[in-house]
Amino acid sequence: MTSNPIMKLLKEPRWSPYLVGILLGVLSWITFATMNKALGTSTTMVRAAGGVERLVAPEHVDNEPYFVKYLGTAAEPKPVIEWQFALVIFLAIGAFVAATLSGKIKSEHVPDLWEQRFGPSRWFRYAAAFLGGMILIIGARMAGGCTSGHGLSGGMQLSTSGWIFMGAMFAGGLPTAALLYAGLRTKGGAS
């Protein structure tokens, strides 16, 4: 019990989606107006993968036009760890702080919904997560962005690419969810 309303809000495990949406919008105003940046995350996966390849096989990276595009060449390198990379690292820290404030960090190996449908095997869940991550990033890089770059940033700028991406994302995701979770009887959202 705390009397400070701000502290009380910070300790709430879950905020209204509208409040969160409004604050994400305001965060975007700030990055656009003061940093000349738009929120995004998936390019960082390219920089991280290319950075690792640069460590183990630098000459190979020089022959990969896609990595050269983001990381330059060995002779003229561009930094691996830049604004968005720092953002992505601190995404985890921000979520950690938010979860810690509401006092409920617990390890999740197999999410409830997955377990109801596919059972409690950790390894099956890990294999699916790996495969899903691989598929998702190939799609994101082909499209030129993900839920944050195309969805949030592209969506708010009313960019044509962003809205096409969001439509396609649901067009791919809805039937996948229907197929994967067909026949599962849960209350789902309606509690």
Binding residues for another protein restricted to 119-158, rule: CB under 8 A? 122, 125-126, 128-158
- Kindly state the smallest distance separating residue 1's Cβ from another protein, in Å: 20
Beta carbons within 10 angstroms of residue 145's beta carbon: 22
Which residues in the 80-99 window bind another protein by CB under 8 A? 80-99
- Contact call for residues 91 and 99 (beta carbons, < 8 A): no
Helix axes 122-143, 42-56, angle to 10 degrees: 100
Q: Which of residues 6-35 bind another protein (CB under 8 A)?
A: 12-15, 17-18, 20-33, 35
56 sits near another protein (criterion: CB under 8 A): no
Quick one: 3 or 188, whose CB is closer to another protein? 188
Neighbouring CB atoms inside 10 A of 136's CB total: 15
Q: Please select the residue that binds another protein; options are 5, 59, 107, 183, rule is CB under 8 A.
A: 107
Please state the closest distance from residue 95 (CB atom) to another protein, in A.
4
CA–CA separation, 52 and 44 (whole Å): 12
- What radius of gyration, in Å, describes the C-alpha atoms of the chain? 20
Indicate the residue among 1 and 33 with the shorter CB distance to another protein. 33
